[in-house]
Structure 1
């Protein structure tokens, strides 16, 4: 297998692993309908189950695991993570109450925390910078594909086997992939697209690394915008199935097929398009790497509001097809752009920090707060099944703020990308004993070319 085929083969396996990540995370969005009925859970409890209880452990564990990924064999971390979350998913089928469900979801979160940062770090060492956002977006396609298979499998299995056996079947299938990951993936050389001096064996201290990220103005605005958009995304994804079963009286089977199609096909198109446009337009003007997200957000908001506020089921489904296509548009650039601003030995940590903030705000607060608002509208204002219309719509408005923050992040992106490149030249010169004061030295000429 040649080098090009090899890198795409590894990306394909990482894609498969990440797909199971999102399948296991998605199925509860459909299965919460029979779980609510069987165990008598409230909307607030469902929000905590699908949001905060998962996000707290997922985000907390992602940082130390990412530090480990920056210094150890990453494929082993990915395989171990897959084994843990798949096993916990299988055991969810024996849960007898809310407490059992929370404990097992925490186990799923602990497993999934180890996969994404290590995968992002490996991809950064498999693909050069010019095509990295596209590669990240392709990996990100595992989100809509995983959601598609998650919705479809959960809907079909729930109607044939019930929700308990559904968890068991899906968890066991994920476990079958573990030995393939261990045996088939060849660990890529760390920092292979960077000069040797950029890939020091020693890492910056944890506090120093966080300080470096904080001082990046473009990163601060970018991660704030991504966190707010993630809030919208997880609110929409976690509550759409109950919305359509309650408000439009669709069956679980009908809802699962619709959500599978709009997330799997529409979301896949949107996610790839976001990464592709960011790479293509960013070659002309680096600021467009992020400004494309602003334009996508401004189109998404009216489409999504119409989806949840119109009375017609047909119109709601039509507007939803557009909204779900644009919902994951941001993923590729949000993951790839920070990789352009940091050294190779900070990439997994940077990915983990991005995931920590976006998931803590998005996954932690989105479903939980939306469920609380829905239940408040039912109890205090008697809205009944229509409460989810307004609870989800309130969440969607945060995408307008996210669009503004993406634009602000783009303003300082060029300068900070240039500074990152200049730092690499200085480090290479320093490690080689070359003085930048010599105007004819290769390092000085390289620095001048960067400017």
Structure 2
């Protein structure tokens, strides 16, 4: 890792058109933390088959484990943790959170029963509540406006890389040794990474690279000084009363209902109903996740950096168009009679489903004051409650519903029922575009 000076060539407190070299080093560290964050989240879904075989877990119970039990703590705690990070050191909050969720991930590998596994998953949710929102705010203070969309899209490469590594690593370890060993190794790596963040990443000045710095009087030697500190309820009310911020959260919730449900059950679907083997999952599905989702993250970030200066409605139209293009291909993926054909149809939707994330995160960070960025990011992440919590839980119980009625292809039928949620998500992004245009008219008046 580089020295302090190397990581901070882009001095806080001075507006800049281009980020310094140190900003890219910090972005790389934070992206790796996000990789681990998502790898930990997804590992249980990837190893669902051997876990079901050993612990006797049903599809509905799996949906609760990976969905509601996790999201219940993740979403409820994300907002107060975000408020705390806005008032204290965001880097330290991130490091502590990374250590906590990594230790809980290792505990998943030691679980001997369903209740023990559920308790460990809840602990993972507690830790991850302080993971993503502080990173968004830190990046926004290392990268000036006009480059944040690209920077945040690169940071959002964490989920596809984490998912791909989770599939490749988790499936390979499970096939060669045991599903428990995969949890233990990933947890140990996470604890080591938390120490690296704590000692080697510095806290940037809040708003130091904004077009109008929050407080030019704050000396450069005090990068963590916060001239304005919003109260908890002040920021909470501001977020949900603002039509643009509220609608972006609602649109993200509807989209995540689809994306997280699909991620949670695709491996099980491919193995149980398409005939895929664990070794094939470790190679082909991992590559699909990495290529498809990464392309969607980067492409959407570049698109909003290009088109948003011409009109902020691009933050809404880019996700809406991506989801509209994904619908027919998603239906074809569910229908496909073999796993190679299913993967071919899934490649594009895997990226298009994630056209929402980089625009949404960038819009939230641009819309609020620097001292409200972490909590506002957490408020937007609260939409995960509907996606991660209820999307996964819904799909698991939908599969149980069809299975109880004698359908052998219960997961396939459950996947089909996600199609109307695409329509809902597209409609909400168009609703967001309307709010953005109205905001522009009011500002002009």
Q: Output the TM-score relative to the length of structure 1.
A: 0.89
- Could you tell me which residue of structure 2 aligns to residue 373 of structure 1? 398
1:164 Cα deviation after fit: 1.1
Which range moved further: 175-184 or 329-338? 175-184
Whether 1:6 and 2:22 are equivalent positions in the alignment is yes
Whether 1:159 and 2:185 are equivalent positions in the alignment is no
1:340–1:417 CA contact under 8 A, matched in 2: no
Structure 2, unaligned runs of 5 or more: 1-5, 11-19, 217-224
1:143 Cα deviation after fit: 0.6
- Could you tell me which residue of structure 2 aligns to residue 123 of structure 1? 139
2:214 to 193, 196, 201: 196
1:86 Cα deviation after fit: 0.9
CA distance in 2, matches of 1:131, 1:77: 25
Which aligned pairs between 1:213-362 and structure 2 lie closer than 5 A?
213-356=239-382, 358-362=383-387
CA distance in 1, matches of 2:111, 2:214: 51
1:81 to 76, 97, 104: 97
Which aligned pairs between 1:434-445 and structure 2 lie closer than 5 A?
none
1:19–1:146 CA contact under 8 A, matched in 2: yes
Which range moved further: 286-295 or 54-63? 286-295
Q: Output the TM-score relative to the length of structure 2.
A: 0.91
> Per the alignment, in what secondary structure is the counterpart of residue 417 of structure 2?
helix
2:215–2:227 CA contact under 8 A, matched in 1: no
CA distance in 1, matches of 2:108, 2:97: 17
CA distance in 2, matches of 1:92, 1:138: 29
2:249–2:381 CA contact under 8 A, matched in 1: no
Structure 1: 4+ residue segments shifted above 6 A:
none
1:202 Cα deviation after fit: 4.0
- Could you tell me which residue of structure 1 aligns to residue 110 of structure 2? 94
Asked which structure has the greater CA Rg, the reply is 1
- Coordinate RMSD, CA, aligned: 1.7
CA distance in 2, matches of 1:36, 1:277: 41
1:227–1:361 CA contact under 8 A, matched in 2: yes
CA distance in 1, matches of 2:119, 2:384: 19
CA distance in 1, matches of 2:51, 2:240: 42
CA distance in 1, matches of 2:418, 2:213: 44
Which range moved further: 211-220 or 92-101? 211-220
How many equivalent pairs are there?
A: 419
1:218–1:408 CA contact under 8 A, matched in 2: no
Whether 1:413 and 2:436 are equivalent positions in the alignment is yes
1:323 Cα deviation after fit: 1.4
In proportion to residue count, which structure has more helix?
1
2:43 to 27, 42, 52: 27
1:218–1:413 CA contact under 8 A, matched in 2: yes
CA distance in 2, matches of 1:319, 1:87: 37
